Amino acid sequence: MDKAMRGTLIFLCSLFVLQFVLAERLTVADDRHPEQKPRSIIHQIMSSALSFNREKLAALACQAHAYFFPPNLEGGSGDFEKGGGEAKEVGEKVGEAVTKSLEKGKSAVEDSARYAAEMADASARKAAEKVKKTLSEL
């Protein structure tokens, strides 16, 4: 991480912590003197902007973590280059899963084709019966 990014991250974290400290002090001040509610629009905006609930904070933290530390989609820590046994086992499992998936997809396509053929045959028979019926009436 370069110095500019580290500095920006520290600044944002400190700003984040500072807003919770200010929000806590504002709520404590409001609880002490409930009859003296502040009426300035700036205070209302600040208090609404600083009132984060825990779910929003957790979601923001998860998004920040995912942004700065993306998941490792390669499935290992360099074992593929070293030829580690664990990486080969993972590759075999993935190959088996792909084979099963292709077999299921093939059977689903065959079932769909069979069903479509049955429907086409049934509609052709109905059309043939209608034609016979109209020809016999003439």
Q: Which of 45, 68, 91 is the last residue of a domain?
A: 68
Per the model's pLDDT, the better-predicted residue between 32 and 54 turns out to be 54
Cα 40 to Cα 46: distance, rounded to the nearest angstrom: 10
Q: Which of 16, 45, 68 is the last residue of a domain?
A: 68
Q: Enumerate the H helices of the chain as residue ranges.
A: 3-32, 41-49, 54-68, 79-82, 85-137
Q: Enumerate the H helices of 33-84 as residue ranges.
A: 41-49, 54-68, 79-82
**Cβ-Cβ contacts under 8 Å for 51 (sequence gap 6 or more):** 23
- Whether residue 59 is contained in a domain is answered as yes
- Whether residue 87 is contained in a domain is answered as no
Q: Which of 44, 68, 92 is the last residue of a domain?
A: 68
- Whether residue 82 is contained in a domain is answered as no
- Whether residue 92 is contained in a domain is answered as no
For the chain, the domain total comes to 2
pLDDT digits (tens, 9 = 90+) for 80-122: 455 556 667 888 888 899 999 999 999 999 999 999 999 999 9
- Whether residue 80 is contained in a domain is answered as no
pTM, to two decimals: 0.33
- Whether residue 89 is contained in a domain is answered as no
Q: Residue range 54-74: average pLDDT? A: 81
Q: Please indicate, yes or no, whether residues 8 and 64 belong to a single structural domain of this protein.
A: yes
Q: Please indicate, yes or no, whether residues 108 and 63 belong to a single structural domain of this protein.
A: no
Both structure tokens of 66:
């995912």
Main-chain phi, psi angles of 63, to 5 degrees: -65, -40
Using the Cα atoms of residue 9, residue 12, residue 15 and residue 20 in order, give the sign of their dihedral: negative
Query: Domain range holding 136?
Result: 102-138
pLDDT digits (tens, 9 = 90+) for 2-38: 777 888 888 887 777 777 666 666 555 555 555 555 5
Main-chain phi, psi angles of 10, to 5 degrees: -65, -40
Cα 82 to Cα 80: distance, rounded to the nearest angstrom: 6
- Whether residue 73 is contained in a domain is answered as no
- Whether residue 23 is contained in a domain is answered as yes
- In one-letter notation, the amino acid at residue 72 is N
